[in-house]
Structures are given as C-alpha cells and as structure tokens.
A and B are shown apart, each in its own frame.
Chain A
Amino acid sequence: AQSVAQPEDQVNVAEGNPLTVKCTYSVSGNPYLFWYVQYPNRGLQFLLKYITGDNLVKGSYGFEAEFNKSQTSFHLKKPSALVSDSALYFCAVRDESTGGFKTIFGAGTRLFVKA
C-alpha cells in the first residue's frame, strides 16, 4: 500500500529566508510525486511533480522539490520565502505501476512566513 508522511504540522520561517517542507513516501513500485498548496476555503492548487528524470524539479511560484529515492523523500523548497507563501501544503503520491490510479495525500504542513 502507498502512503505519505509529512512529519511537521507547521513550519515557521522569516520572509527572505529559505524554506523546506518535508515529505517521505512509501510505495511498492515507482512513485509519481506531487506537491499542492491550499489557501483557506479553496481547493488544492498544483505546484510541481516528479515523474522521472532529473531529481530536482522546478514548479510554480519559485518552488522546487528534490526526489531522493534512497531516502524515499520529496522535500519542497524555496530559496527565499514570501509572506504570501503562507498556506497549507500537501505532498501526494501515486503508484501506477501496480495498476492503480489512486493519489494519496499527506496530512499537510502549515507554512507561516513572518514579515
């Protein structure tokens, strides 16, 4: 069975500092990995994904994520945080190699960026 863990409920960072939001996953096959952001009372917005190829993936709004197969991690990063980045972030995994198409989400990490 596939699963996703986001070990931090909340991450606090000062504006202009780098940020990291952690994610680890477990799948039996090859993972497709995703990051989404959610603002209050809204649906989830896609940020970036890893399918194959380069382990460093760049996405929307200056975010990037690094796929690490040996550590089964897919941490979200941004070199310089903005106050407007404050939101709820979700990591997700899908394993289609086993014939399934279910995307599983982590519990989320709330990011607070202080001015």
Chain B
Amino acid sequence: DTGVSQNPRHKITKRGQNVTFRCDPISEHNRLYWYRQTLGQGPEFLTYFQNEAQLEKSRLLSDRFSAERPKGSFSTLEIQRTEQGDSAMYLCASIPGQPGNTIYFGEGSWLTVV
C-alpha cells in the first residue's frame, strides 16, 4: 500500500493554458474522487468514479474541466483555458468499495494561474 499519489505537486501556468493532473489511487480501490480546496476552505467535491465509470459530477465542474479514469486505475483531471479563479489545490482520494470505508487522500496538486 503506497498511498494515493498525485502529480505534479505544484504547477504554475499562464492564464489560458491547459493543465493536466494525474492521480494514482491505492491499488484495488475501485472508487476515486476529485476535490478542490482553496485557502482556508474545506474540500469541495468535484467528481467521483467507480472503476472507469464517472458516476457523479458537481456543478463546480464546468465544461472547461474534464476527468477520466480510462482503465479503472489512474485518473486524470484536465483544466482547459485556465482562469485565475482555478488557482487551488486539487485533491484526489480513493476508497475500497465496501460501505463505510475510509477515504484516503493524496498530498494534492497545487495550481497557480498567473
């Protein structure tokens, strides 16, 4: 069990550029979540996968955001045409499929849009 891994840990990008974050969940965890956290706030739910199926998306996930989990293992979160308001920490988490299990977080990917 190597934990949830996120890359890159930090990304600085110019407004209008596209960025992609990758998440490798704990092996055999079939559920995967993406959250966004801004300074001093709690994590806000973005989207949820069970295996490769994206089962729920928040209204926060505008059409500039897309998430995939093509083989039910790692996941990517892409932000197109970044805006300064996208600056935040993007957290990935995974959980086994049994009810009541704990959600485990990665260290997060910090995005700064300049």
Q: Is the CB of B41 within 8 A of A96?
A: no
CB pair A103–B33 under 8 Å, yes or no, is yes
Considering the complex, which residues of chain B in the window 61-114 have a beta carbon less than 8 Å from any beta carbon of chain A? 91, 93, 95, 99-100, 102-108, 110
A90 within 8 A of B: yes
User: Chain B's nearest CB lies how many Å from the CB of A98?
Assistant: 12
Given contacts A102-B48, A107-B42, is CB(A32)–CB(B100) below 8 Å? yes
A residues in contact with B50, CB < 8 Å: 101
Given A100-B56, A101-B48, A101-B50, is A46 in contact with B102 using a C-beta cutoff of 8 Å?
yes
Interface size class of A (residues with CB under 8 A): 20 to 34
Please tell me if the beta carbons of B45 and A46 are within 8 angstroms of each other in the complex.
no
**Which chain A residues lie closer than 8 Å to B31 at the CB level?**
101
Q: Are B99 and A96 interface neighbours, CB within 8 A?
A: yes
Contacting pair B102 A34 (CB below 8 A)? yes
Shortest CB–CB separation between residue A44 and chain B, in angstroms?
4
By the criterion of a CB under 8 Å from any partner CB, how many residues of chain B are at the interface? 27
State the CA gap A96–B95 with chains docked (Å). Answer: 13
Bound CA–CA A106/B41 (angstroms):
8
Contacts of B110 in A (CB 8 A): 41
The distance in angstroms between the C-alpha atoms of A41 and B6, with both chains bound, is 13
Pair B108/A43 contact, Cβ less than 8 Å: yes
Known: A46-B102, A96-B100, A101-B50. A108 touches B42 (CB 8 A): yes
**Which A residues are in CB contact (< 8 Å) with B103?**
34, 46, 92, 94, 103
Of the residues B45, B106, B107, B108, contact of A103 by C-beta under 8 Å: B45
Q: Which 6 A-B pairs have the closest CB atoms?
A: A105-B42, A43-B105, A51-B100, A43-B107, A44-B105, A107-B42
